[in-house]
Structure 1
Amino acid sequence: MQTIFSTVTGNNSSNILGTLGTIGQSTPNLWLINPNGILFGPNSQLNLGGAFFATTANAVQVEGRGAVAASNVSADSDILTVSDSVFAFNRDNPNARIVNHKEKHFL
């Protein structure tokens, strides 16, 4: 596995208050998409072997394959089987933001 693509389909922001990570011998990249916002609390940690992407985009446009909307993800979709993608911000949501309450910033 190269990438874990995680979307939040509810109406609330994500609150990362502890450790967010992957386990096992592989080192996949982790994508977290929540159009309603993402908050990293003061005790949050990332425990990943790969890269981490957090975004408030409401969709991911996959080159040559179409778009996957955060609010409508099909478990049997094969659209995310390619690696080239871009985030799409095509809806107005001024309250969507990523907040980091850690003293040390994630790079």
Structure 2
Amino acid sequence: MFSPLEAEVMRVIWRKGSATVREVWLALRDDGKRLAYTTVMTVMVRLHEKGLLRRVKEGKGYRYFPTQPHETLLRRFAMAVVDRLVAVFGEPAVSYLAEIVAERRRR
């Protein structure tokens, strides 16, 4: 799963296709996020270490690319959440989750 900041960073990179730390930092700043450049760099390095980003040397730094499309990763995370719900609460958890989704779609 992503932390909120990891999710923001991944959204920027998915939207752009690839990005440097500076490009992500600027995009987040434009969205009103006041973060240190080094904070963004640390998050991107950790996402790389987790295998969610790959990087290619570019000048003095790196250009980062997502290792999976957004939809693929979303499906993987959703399956992990459902698997945990079933493991802890059993099959009724899936029925309840389906009810919640259906109710929200009606709104």
Q: TM-score range by the shorter chain?
A: under 0.3
More strand by share: 1
TM-score under structure 2 length normalisation: 0.23
Instruction: State the structure with bigger RCO (CA 8 A, min sep 6), 1 or 2.
Output: 1
More helix by share: 2
Larger radius of gyration: 2
